[in-house]
Amino acid sequence: MRYLVLLALWVLPMLAHAQDWEDQRMFGVDSSPTMRIISSTDTSFFAPIIESFLAERPDVSIEYLVTGTADLDQIFRASPAEFDVVISSAMDLQLKLANDGFAQRIDDITHPAWAQWRQSLFAFTTEPATIVINKAAFAGQDVPRTRLELIQALRADPDRFRGRVGTYDVRQSGLGYLFATQDARASESFWRLTEVMGSLDARLYCCSGEMIDDLADGTIAVAYNVLGSYAQARQDTRDKLEVILPSDFPTTMMRTAFVSRDTLQPQTAADFIRHLTIAQSQGADLASFPLPPLITELDAAGRSRIALEPALMTYLDRLKRRTFMREWESAIIQSPSAPSQ
């Protein structure tokens, strides 16, 4: 029996290592029971929350595993019993997981109706999709405030921006796909902007982080639909970059978390979600947590968030996705040699 346990202890990490994680980190004492969190959020954003949770619960340890939103969905669907908590910015994928019965109900968390679904999927941030520009690239020029102004700016000086426009590769990024589909739903200007970006040989990225890196070193001058929170959080880029909330229509995402239906530690996992929602609610100590809080009221501009509702599954539909991808590809990839990173 002991050998079996030892074997299991030896094999499990091997299995975990078999997966290619963007980041993987242990928090807390090794010997204590480990709760596994699979997340699309960079470790640096989450570490303070995990540490404050462990301060209250020194009896557990947490393994934090980071991967992209689309991968996360696949990995988790394949083995839901291996993870206790699932955190992602792709609201549509998260909602579908919950709709498909992968999420556990936690009845004793009080959360506003719009910020939770079925008392099992809980939103804990409010993060708008933004336009981020390299200030230097726009020197002596009006900074675009809306998508239309961005289109005009790009069209006005195509040579300056050729190859220096970045956006998500919606084929790789679940969050990018969510932003793109919600944009397309809200306004036709999305397609026009995509076509303009395509004509300028736009660079496509998997993740906000890399896009901001390239913006900071001047590789690209402007990035569309980036998470502003990532740009603002980085000390090194703060002076070089400007984060613009498009004032025509907002696309605001909420990061969501749920407890896996197959978790072996339902109580600890539920406690973690509770801790997370309390820490991220407005009025909590924001300075110590780098993630943007959950804004419980609409701001003055009446910005709405993407609603947590079954309709989020619309663009996950095979046929809808096929059609959207076809249109998106024909808009953004205009020459066969375009980079598809």
Partner 1 sequence: MTEVVRVAGSLRNRLAVTLVGGAAVLAILLFVVVRNYAAQIAQAGQDQIIGASVSSILDAAVVRDGVVDVDFPYASLSMLSTEFDDRVFYAIYQDDAVISGYDTLPRSDIAANTDRQYETVVFDGVPVRLASASRTLIGAGFRTNIVVSVGQTQDALSGTLNGISRNVALFGAGFFALATLIAFWATSTTFGQLQALTTAITRRGPKDLRPVVKPIPAELAPLVSSLNSLMARLNQSLLQSENFITEAAHRVRTPLATVRSHAETTLHRVERPENRQALRAMVRAIDESSRAAGQLLDHAMIAFRADNLDQQDIDLGALVQELLVQLTPIAEMKDIDLEMTQDGNAAVRGDPILVQNALRNLIDNALKYSPAESTITISVSDVPTAHVRVCDQGTGFDPDEIDDLAKRFKRGTNVAGIVGSGLGLTIVEDVAHAHGGKLTLENQKTGGACVTLSF
- Which residues inside 53-92 make contact with partner 1, applying CB under 8 A? none
Q: What is the CA radius of gyration of the chain?
A: 21
Binds partner 1 (CB under 8 A): choice among 119, 219, 281, 334? 119
Binds partner 1 (CB under 8 A): choice among 314, 330, 340, 341? 314
**Alpha carbon of 20 to those of 14, 66, 68: distances in Å?**
12, 9, 11
Phi, psi of 146 (to 5 degrees): -130, 175
Binding part of the chain for partner 1, among 15-23, 133-141, 263-271, 319-327 by CB under 8 A, reads 319-327
Nearer to partner 1, 21 or 114 (CB): 114
Binding part of the chain for partner 1, among 25-33, 112-120, 135-143, 252-260 by CB under 8 A, reads 112-120
318 binding partner 1? (CB under 8 A): yes
Asked if 95 contacts 117 with a C-beta cutoff of 8 angstroms, the reply is yes
310 binding partner 1? (CB under 8 A): yes
Binds partner 1 (CB under 8 A): choice among 23, 56, 100, 157? 100
Binding part of the chain for partner 1, among 63-71, 95-103, 219-227, 237-245 by CB under 8 A, reads 95-103
Question: Distance between CA 322 and CA 170 in Å, rounded?
Answer: 12
Nearer to partner 1, 33 or 310 (CB): 310
Binds partner 1 (CB under 8 A): choice among 59, 320, 339, 340? 320
Nearer to partner 1, 287 or 319 (CB): 319
| First vs last C-alpha separation in the chain | 48
Question: Distance between CA 10 and CA 8 in Å, rounded?
Answer: 5
Shortest distance (Å) from residue 307 CB to partner 1? 8
247 binding partner 1? (CB under 8 A): no
Binds partner 1 (CB under 8 A): choice among 79, 288, 323, 340? 323
Shortest distance (Å) from residue 111 CB to partner 1? 12
In this structure, what token pair is assigned to residue 339?
Answer: 């980079």
317 binding partner 1? (CB under 8 A): yes
The per-residue DSSP string of 179-227 comes to HHHHHHHH-THHHHHHHHHHHTT-EEES-HHHHHHHHHTTS-SEEEEEE
The per-residue DSSP string of 46-109 comes to HHHHHHHHHHH-TT-EEEEEE--HHHHHHHHHH-GGG-SEEEES-HHHHHHHHHTT-BPP-TT-
Three-state secondary structure string covering 137-161: HHCCCCCCCCHHHHHHHHHHCHHHH
Question: Distance between CA 219 and CA 88 in Å, rounded?
Answer: 28
- Which residues inside 152-191 make contact with partner 1, applying CB under 8 A? 185
Nearer to partner 1, 12 or 311 (CB): 311
Q: Which residues bind partner 1 (CB under 8 A)?
A: 99-101, 113, 117-119, 185, 307, 309-311, 313-314, 317-320, 322-323
